[in-house]
């Protein structure tokens, strides 16, 4: 009897952002939600995931000691490395990718998405093994309009065909590395990791995401995050 290959991946947690849009001098990754830092909640989810073997955190150079302290305080066991970020998100992800061998799969996640569930992480890794690449998305709850350059409605797309894309996004490591190299060579700037691999013609399967998997970015996100925290802990 042949042994089944374990469906697992490395994880890159991108936590090198600033607090500019939050309107605070504190990096949003360290803001507290019910007395627990945003980044700690994120790391705990990946630490509990059955499909994640190791975690690389990409942080601002001046935050690396703080991340080290946080990892120890919250007993995050799967940390492989904490590395400095770059000037852009793309540079930061590439710094994380440099810590991973070309074989296998990698999940890239925003450090400021603290409510992703281990169940969703496992589902995305499983789907990446089946389809080659996967990303979570949710159907918009509001009607979406396409505007022209004068801000008049140009068309109303079918909401059921639209997805609001989240993270983690999971790819074959060698393909994501090559896609990032090609993007750098051509000067392509993507809005997420999916757009980087799409630029190279790689199809991405969309997996049902979680409406609670929000990104904490602006001040109005904080009370929403507190409410989600209370909801999830019922």
CATH number of the domain to which 182 belongs: 3.90.550.10
Beta-carbon contacts of residue 185 (< 8 Å; ≥ 6 apart): none
By the 10 Å C-beta count (0-12 exposed, 13-18 middle, 19+ buried), 106 is classed as buried
**Domain span including residue 166:** 9-232
**Residue 165 is assigned to a structural domain of this protein:** yes
- The answer as to whether 4 is a domain residue is no
The rounded distance, in Å, linking the Cα atoms of 140 and 132 is: 25
In a domain, 26, yes or no: yes
| pLDDT under 50: residue ranges of the chain | 1-3
User: What pLDDT score does 1 carry?
Assistant: 36
Measure the CA–CA gap between 53 and 37, rounded to whole angstroms. 23
Mean pLDDT across the chain:
94
**pLDDT for the residue numbered 25:** 66
> Is the residue at 82 inside a domain?
yes
- Evaluate whether residue 1 is within a structural domain: no
Q: 91: which 2 tokens?
A: 């540079």
- Look at the alpha carbons of 166, 60, 30, 117 in this order and tell me if their dihedral is positive or negative: positive
- Tally the domains of the chain: 1
Give the number of residues written for the chain.
Answer: 234
């Amino acid at each position: 009897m042949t042994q089944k290959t374990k469906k697992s991946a490395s994880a890159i947690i991108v936590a090198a952002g600033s607090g500019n849009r939050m309107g605070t001098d504190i990096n949003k990754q360290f803001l507290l939600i019910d007395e627990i830092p945003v980044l700690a909640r994120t790391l705990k989810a990946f630490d509990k995931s059955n499909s994640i073997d190791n975690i690389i955190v990409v942080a601002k150079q001046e935050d690396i000691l703080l991340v080290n302290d946080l990892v120890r305080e919250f007993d995050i066991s799967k940390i492989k490395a904490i590395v400095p970020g770059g000037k852009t998100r793309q540079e930061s992800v590439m710094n994380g990718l440099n810590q991973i061998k070309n074989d296998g799969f990698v999940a890239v996640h925003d450090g400021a998405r603290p409510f992703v569930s281990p169940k969703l992480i496992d589902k995305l890794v499983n789907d990446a093994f089946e389809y080659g690449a996967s990303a979570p998305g949710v159907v918009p709850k509001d009607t979406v309009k396409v505007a022209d350059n004068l801000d008049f409605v140009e068309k109303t797309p079918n909401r059921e065909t639209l997805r609001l894309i989240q993270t983690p996004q999971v790819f074959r490591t060698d393909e994501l590395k090559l896609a990032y190299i090609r993007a750098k060579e051509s000067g392509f700037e993507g809005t997420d990791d999916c757009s980087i691999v799409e630029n190279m013609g790689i199809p991405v399967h969309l997996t049902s995401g979680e409406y609670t998997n929000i990104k904490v970015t602006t001040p109005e996100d904080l009370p929403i995050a507190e409410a989600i925290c209370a909801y999830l802990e019922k």
